[in-house]
Chains A and B, each alone.
Chain A
Amino acid sequence: MTKVIEVRDVYQAYGDLEVLKGISFDVHEKEVKVVFGPSGSGKSTLLRVINMLTPPYKGEVLLRGESLMAPNANLSKLRSRIGFVFQHFNLFAHLKAIDNVSIGPRQVLGMTKEEAHDVAHDMLCKVKMEDWGHHYPAELSGGQQQRIGIARSLAMSPDVILFDEPTSALDPELIGEVLQVMLDIAKEGTTMIVVTHEMGFARAVSSEMIFMDEGVIVEKGTPQHFFQNPETERAQRFLLRLEVLYGQAEDEKNSE
């Protein structure tokens, strides 16, 4: 299988604070990589490094073999092929939902107004928001805003989409609708890197999970590996804590 993203030994620091200390992994076509770990371990920073929102001071990131750090790299062009879904949605407040989705195809991909509108409409259908296209972000619930955020990324037909805790800012009753959309697009073969603590999602679609702590990858493995016998003590402790936090629902699903 072809490699979509290669992360090679990246380091990142904010001042004296080392946040990423030599992270490497590959993401293959149609793979769903789940990244998890304690708050402050550098997960968001890792995603921002991958599309160069904050370039690393050492190491390299490649998109289909093309370095994003080459001096002559056209970063805007490369970024348009890497979707990003944010924890706090970050929709454009002055644009209707459908225009949030069409602005990328229209202005970045250079489609005509009609083409961009058609793409946006298709994407709204995909996230089940076709009836809400004419509402402004502030008129939508968090779950609806996040689905628009996903549609905005999908509309660019990216090679890979990065998700940064897409459901952690949502009220519990709204998490399901967003996870359902993510499951749908994962099953369609979208290549994804997902930072999340939703272990049900990980179990359903993740090919490999990465446990991060203090800027390093502590342990990698399949969902089965992590849920049955995580090797490191740090991963064991963290998963246990998650179970306490996210409660019985997970256990019940296990026993079914």
Chain B
Amino acid sequence: MGLYFFAIFLGLGLGIGFAIVRQYGGSLTSRIATGYIEVFRGTPLLAQIFVVTLFPPALNAWLVASGMAPIDILWRIFLPDPFGNPSIVLNTRILLCAITLGLNSAAYQAEFFRGSMGSISTGQSLAATSIGMTRRQLIRFVILPQSLRRAIPAWSNEAVYLPKYTTVAYLVGVEELFAWAKLAAGRTFLTIEVYVLIAIVFLVLISIISWILEYTYNRVKIPGI
């Protein structure tokens, strides 16, 4: 779950940033943002995670080969467990997976926000400019308040899909919820029940997220539109 919340909020922050830069940045910066978005949307998430998790060993191999000291990639933080089975809560691999998920999500979220920015009439931008607002004020006071509201429905999809994508991290050994499931199944021999329980946890989590977003959307909706 930590993986999910980290990724969705990293994606949210970066996504808004990339959307603004792509839409309102200079020609070079907006091209960089476009490139970033297209690369992350155009390649499979699994490939991205493989590349990123293979990067630290590769970097170390290169450092050693060129006669430098390797960086420590084996650090880890444990969560003490009352049953005497301490579980890893954070290590290089988990951190990199979370960042990759966040970067990937940022690309998708950027497109949602850009779409909702584009749907705000150019007339409002002209009006803001004509009363003397700077570009920064235009984005802050006119574009963002409207585009964030409008992006909520599309954003809900991302928020609901991302928990499922976090399971991809399992393939590179980040076990999270599944590690707990395996352990619990091994202890209790109730394998099916444990996995059903996990499915229910996912379902409940996703329903809660959907509900919160729908509630928020209705609360901040602009009257008359």
Residues of A participating in the B interface, judged by any CB pair closer than 8 Å: 51, 53, 76-84, 86, 88-94, 103-104, 107-108, 135-139, 149, 152-153, 156
Cβ of B128 under 8 Å from chain A: yes
The reply to whether B222 and A90 form a contact with Cβ atoms under 8 Å apart is no
A108 CB contacts on chain B under 8 angstroms: 131-133, 137
Say how far B91's CB is from chain A's closest CB, in angstroms.
44
The reply to whether A137 and B123 form a contact with Cβ atoms under 8 Å apart is no
The reply to whether A107 and B224 form a contact with Cβ atoms under 8 Å apart is no
B43 CB contacts on chain A under 8 angstroms: none
Residue in B120, B131, B145, B146 whose CB lies within 8 Å of A152: B131
Q: A53-B129, A79-B132, A93-B120 are in contact. List 7 more A-B contacts (CB 8 A).
A: A79-B131, A86-B126, A86-B127, A93-B146, A93-B225, A94-B142, A94-B149
**Residue-by-residue, is B84-95 near A (CB-CB < 8 Å gives 1, otherwise 0)?**
000000000000
How far apart are the CA atoms of A92 and B149 in the complex, in Å? 14
The reply to whether A92 and B128 form a contact with Cβ atoms under 8 Å apart is yes
Residue of A nearest to B121 (CB): A90
Residue of B nearest to A96 (CB): B223
Cβ of B124 under 8 Å from chain A: yes
Give residues 105-128 of B contacting A (CB, 8 Å): 120-121, 123-124, 126-128
The reply to whether A94 and B222 form a contact with Cβ atoms under 8 Å apart is yes
How far apart are the CA atoms of A89 and B137 in the complex, in Å? 20
Answer whether A90 and B131 are a contact pair too, CB < 8 Å, given A136-B223, A138-B224, A138-B225. no
Instruction: Offer 14 A-B interface pairs, CB within 8 angstroms, sorted by A.
Output: A53-B126, A53-B129, A79-B130, A81-B132, A83-B130, A83-B131, A86-B126, A93-B222, A103-B131, A103-B141, A104-B132, A108-B131, A135-B224, A136-B224
A89 CB contacts on chain B under 8 angstroms: 123
B225 CB contacts on chain A under 8 angstroms: 93, 136, 138
How far apart are the CA atoms of A104 and B126 in the complex, in Å? 13
The reply to whether A137 and B134 form a contact with Cβ atoms under 8 Å apart is no
The reply to whether A76 and B133 form a contact with Cβ atoms under 8 Å apart is yes
How far apart are the CA atoms of A156 and B131 in the complex, in Å? 7
Say how far A86's CB is from chain B's closest CB, in angstroms.
6
Residue of A nearest to B132 (CB): A80
The reply to whether A76 and B132 form a contact with Cβ atoms under 8 Å apart is yes
The reply to whether B124 and A92 form a contact with Cβ atoms under 8 Å apart is yes
Residue from B121, B130, B133, B146 with most neighbouring chain A CB atoms (10 Å): B130
Answer whether A76 and B134 are a contact pair too, CB < 8 Å, given A107-B141, A136-B223. yes
B130 CB contacts on chain A under 8 angstroms: 51, 53, 79, 82-84
Residue of B nearest to A52 (CB): B129
Say how far B60's CB is from chain A's closest CB, in angstroms.
51
Residue in B129, B131, B145, B224 whose CB lies within 8 Å of A153: B131
Answer whether A91 and B127 are a contact pair too, CB < 8 Å, given A136-B224, A138-B224. yes
Residue in B126, B127, B128, B146 whose CB lies within 8 Å of A94: B146
The reply to whether B132 and A156 form a contact with Cβ atoms under 8 Å apart is yes
How far apart are the CA atoms of A108 and B132 in the complex, in Å? 6
The reply to whether A86 and B123 form a contact with Cβ atoms under 8 Å apart is yes
The reply to whether B223 and A90 form a contact with Cβ atoms under 8 Å apart is no
Residue of A nearest to B134 (CB): A76
Say how far B93's CB is from chain A's closest CB, in angstroms.
43
Residue of A nearest to B128 (CB): A92
Say how far B24's CB is from chain A's closest CB, in angstroms.
15
Answer whether A138 and B222 are a contact pair too, CB < 8 Å, given A90-B121, A90-B123, A92-B124. yes
How far apart are the CA atoms of A212 and B121 in the complex, in Å? 28
Residue in B131, B141, B222 whose CB lies within 8 Å of A136: B222
B120 CB contacts on chain A under 8 angstroms: 93
Answer whether A79 and B222 are a contact pair too, CB < 8 Å, given A90-B124, A92-B142, A108-B137. no
The reply to whether A107 and B137 form a contact with Cβ atoms under 8 Å apart is yes
How far apart are the CA atoms of A93 and B127 in the complex, in Å? 12
